[in-house]
Chains A and B, each alone.
Chain A
Amino acid sequence: AQSVAQPEDQVNVAEGNPLTVKCTYSVSGNPYLFWYVQYPNRGLQFLLKYITGDNLVKGSYGFEAEFNKSQTSFHLKKPSALVSDSALYFCAVRVPNAGNMLTFGGGTRLMVKP
């Protein structure tokens, strides 16, 4: 079975500082990995994905994530946080040829303070 862990319920960062939201996964096989963001009372918006190739993937709103196979991690990063980045972030995994659903982590609330 596949699973995703987001070890931090909340991450606090000052505006302008770099941010990292952690994600680790457990799958049998090579995963496809995704990050989504959820603003209050809204649906989930796709940020970026790793399928294959370069381990560093870039996505929307200046976010990027690094796939690390040896550490089974896919941490979300941004060099300079904005107050408007404050939201709930979800990591998700799909295993090719093992079903078509995404399995989500528990979510991490990012709070960016001015």
Chain B
Amino acid sequence: EPEVTQTPSHQVTQMGQEVILRCVPISNHLYFYWYRQILGQKVEFLVSFYNNEISEKSEIFDDQFSVERPDGSNFTLKIRSTKLEDSAMYFCASSDQVGTGTGELFFGEGSRLTVL
């Protein structure tokens, strides 16, 4: 069964450093997302991406964050200058039917980011 894959599974970084989290969505999907889950808290929407541009973003997704689809398969989340409060599990997701609103999202296993 096709799946969303994410790397790295865990990254530890120093505050102020740049981090890039990588995702390979399911190959025929067209809509891509990043969510995050701070330990013990709810899953929060960060950004959605379609047709090579951001379609929605939350207030969490400030200027420190950016997303890119550098080639036909990868979808990346960059945090320019990490803060302690960026420590969380980051989930990538993809979907093929958002145009109708009916499609479920398929999530990766997550990348745990720890900022020291």
Mask for B32-52, Cβ within 8 A of A = 1, else 0? Answer: 010100000111110010100
Evaluate whether A32 and B109 lie within 8 angstroms (CB atoms) in the complex, with A43-B91, A44-B43, A104-B43 already known: no
Tier of interface size on chain A: 20 to 34
Chain A nearest CB, measured from B11 CB (Å)? 15
Residue A97 at the B interface, CB < 8 A?
yes
Residues from chain B with a CB closer than 8 A to the CB of A49 are 102, 104
Which single member of A43, A95, A97, A101 contacts B33 (CB below 8 Å)?
A101
Residue A51 at the B interface, CB < 8 A?
yes
Give A75 to B45 CA distance when docked, in angstroms: 22
Residue A114 at the B interface, CB < 8 A?
no
Chain B nearest CB, measured from A44 CB (Å)? 4
Give the contacts of B31-73 with A (CB-CB under 8 A).
31, 33, 35, 41-45, 48, 50, 55-56, 58
Which single member of B43, B91, B98, B107 contacts A100 (CB below 8 Å)?
B98
Give the contacts of A71-105 with B (CB-CB under 8 A).
90, 94-97, 99-105
- 24 A-B pairs in the complex with CB atoms less than 8 angstroms apart: A32-B102, A34-B104, A36-B107, A43-B4, A43-B91, A43-B109, A44-B107, A45-B107, A46-B106, A49-B102, A49-B104, A90-B42, A97-B101, A99-B56, A100-B31, A100-B50, A100-B95, A101-B48, A101-B56, A102-B105, A104-B42, A104-B43, A106-B41, A107-B43
B interface residues, Cβ below 8 angstroms from A:
4, 31, 33, 35, 41-45, 48, 50, 55-56, 58, 91, 93, 95, 98, 101-102, 104-110
